[in-house]
Each structure stands twice: as structure tokens, then as C-alpha cells.
Amino acid sequence: SYPLFHTARPLTSAAQETLDRTDIIFHIGDISYATGYGSKWDRFLKQIERLASRIPYMTGQGNHERNFPGSHDYYQSTDSGGECGKPHVARFVMPTPLPQSEVAGAAGMWYSFDQGPVHFVMMDTEMPLSVGTPQYAFLENDLLSVDRSVTPWIIFMGHRPMYWNSEIDVHFQELEPLLFQAQVDLCLWGHVHHTQISCPVYNGTCVNA
């Protein structure tokens, strides 16, 4: 069995208590920590079955799904154990604008959708996102075309945090002005294994909401 600190244990126990009041679940990267072992994917999926069979279970790509030298990711670490995103993409089909074959190849796992009054955007922090890249082009077109009379809220998500201890990840420097221009209401991040909540921030400085 998995130790108590495994992601699925607190997730399933907490969500089970509020199942009838939960509309959607976002798992923003580092999904199963399988790192090349298919049996770990199987065990994790069994653990979340009670939730994912009843509630939309939306995922994003993290370093432990994607990163490996030669897999076209930005960081080129060995954190995925050679998975290069393929097992994740095969198990969690998200509403990406690209075909699944491309998402599991050199492309990334970014997408957006509306639910109720909220426009949700999932970026892929592990892939290139500077101006001129396919991911930036998608995010720019998507964010700047949101009809705020239909979805007045924009929630933006990605695995690695843009800010950590008041310092910006240089990978995000070209993206931040776009989020500010689009007046994104809330950003949700993962990767760091404890909670940080910040003020509304732009260019490293707290700003009025």
C-alpha cells in the first residue's frame, strides 16, 4: 500500500467528504510519480476512481510527467524517468487544441474551457512559452478573446509557480504581461510541496486588485 503522504490519500479522503458539493477537480501536474513504472499508474488510477468516475478530473503536465532530455521540454531534467508525457496523455484526455498524437509527442498539454461563469486555462509550464512559441500563441489568442459578459472570471493554472518566495521564474517573464493585460483573476500553481498565498502581484510588486 502507499504511505500516508501519497497524493491520492489526502485527496480521496478530503474530497469524499464533500463529494456532493464538488463540481470539478484540478490536478495540476505531478500526477502519479510513476516515473516509468506502469504499475504505479494503475494503482494511482484505482485510488482516484471513486472521484474521477463522478467528477470531472482535469490534469496538467508537471516535471514528473514530461521532463527528459531530448523530449522537447524546457527544463531538460530526468524527472519523468523517460515517460516524456506519453503515459499521462494516454490516461487523461484533455480538451487540448492539438491532436493527442501531437500532445504526446513534441507538443505540450495546454487547453482551456468554460464551466459556469469561469473560463479555465491550463498552461504547460514544462514546455517553451516565450513569444513566438505555439503555446504563447494559444494563450494570447485564448485569453484576449474571453467574453467577460459570459465568463466574468478567468482562472489560470500551471504546474510550476510563476512566483516563489517573491522571485519570478525567468521562464515566465514574457508571459506575465499577457496575464496582466487579460486581467486574469486567479492563478493556481503546483510543484512546491507546501502552500503559499500571495497578494495580487505584477512585476514582483503587490498591486491593487
pLDDT score, position 1: 40
pLDDT score, position 5: 45
Please report the sign of the dihedral spanned by the C-alpha atoms of residue 56, residue 119, residue 96, residue 180. Answer: negative
Residue 92's SS3 state is coil
Closest among 93, 91, 128, 97 to 110, alpha carbons compared? 97
How far is Cα 194 from Cα 59, in angstroms, rounded to an integer?
19
Under a CB-based contact definition with an 8 Å cutoff, are residues 111 and 95 in contact? yes
Residues 137-165 have pLDDT tens digits of 999 999 999 999 999 999 999 999 999 87
Name which residue leads in pLDDT, 108 or 181.
181
Question: Does 27 participate in catalysis according to the annotation?
Answer: no
Residues 6+ apart with CB under 8 A from 93: 100
SS3 for 135-195, per residue?
HHHHHHHHHCCCCCCCCCEEEEEECCCCEECCEECHHHCCCHHHHHHCCCCEEEECCCCCC
pLDDT > 90: percent of the chain: 66
pLDDT score, position 143: 98
Looking at the predicted structure, is the pLDDT value of residue 29 above 60? yes
Mean pLDDT taken over the chain: 89
pTM: 0.89
User: How buried is 129 (Cβ within 10 angstroms: 0-12 exposed, 13-18 middle, 19+ buried)?
Assistant: buried
Name which residue leads in pLDDT, 7 or 174.
174
Looking at the predicted structure, is the pLDDT value of residue 88 above 70? yes
The residue from 64, 171, 191, 193 that is catalytic is 171
pLDDT score, position 16: 67
Give the chain's length: 209
